[in-house]
Amino acid sequence: MLGAMTGLGQAGAALSQRTVLITGVSKGLGRALALELAKRGHSVVGCSRSQDKLNSLNSDFTSLDLSSSANHLLLPVDVSSDSNVQEFARVVVERKGVPDIIVNNAGTINKNSKIWEVPPEEFDAVYETNVKGTVNILRHFIPLMIPSKKGIIVNMSSGWGRSGAALVAPYCASKWAIEGLTRSVAKELPEGMAIVALSPGVVNTDMLASCFGDSASLYQTPDSWSLKAATMILNLTAADNGASLTV
């Protein structure tokens, strides 16, 4: 699909300033994407559970002179909490308006273990963040987008959401859920909006290191990845609704 990538007439759309909401913005892919989007002149709304890491990101926005920190909004939010996300949505709309793009990036992974060795609380933690956290964002932000019948939602998936891998069954299951959730919600959105499942590919993050160990360093960095990911996300259109894509 990816109709936006094939039309020269739509290329200019990526040049206008957008407000992009990113969950799990304080580290890894989320942080790299936020900085890249800010460099391109877009306004970032981000959330994370770590206030210290949000402060660090805000300092980066300022020290790199990307733009005034007033152009961005970073808030401590636990996406697995519906009440947290409900309040987050209220504040975002009040201070920044309805986001043009939402990137459901917040995620976690289990420690390498066979499924029967994964503690129940660890399995629950993966699903609470990866699946429930995404649904909470959809629950409170989609109704805000519907009146204008525009808006792009990107649910971060994984190659392991389209295949399987030993020792990370909880994570794989959560990303398969994201793929199915995305395809279903795509059928519920009004014409003009789009939701896609986006696999980042293999990137050297803390999550990858937890699975691959030292060999994670053989793969691309989040900063390198963000150059391609930002362009791809900014060029998504309603024609991509329901697609499973890969950076």
> Looking at the annotation, which residues are catalytic?
171
With CA atoms as reference, report the closest residue to 91 among 111, 73, 110, 117: 73
Angle at which helices 82-96 and 133-145 cross, to 10°: 40
The alpha carbons of the chain give a radius of gyration, in whole angstroms, of 17
Handedness of CA 39, 42, 43, 46 (dihedral sign): negative
Distance CA 213, CA 167 (A): 13
Q: Give DSSP secondary structure letters for 92-129.
A: HHHHH-S-SEEEE-------S--GGGS-HHHHHHHHII
Chain CA centroid to CA 191, Å: 22
Angle at which helices 169-186 and 133-145 cross, to 10°: 20
In the block, tokens 């980042």 appear at 200
Query: Which H or E run includes 157?
Result: none
* C-alpha to C-alpha distances, 133 to 1, 71, 90, 192, nearest whole angstrom: 27, 25, 17, 24
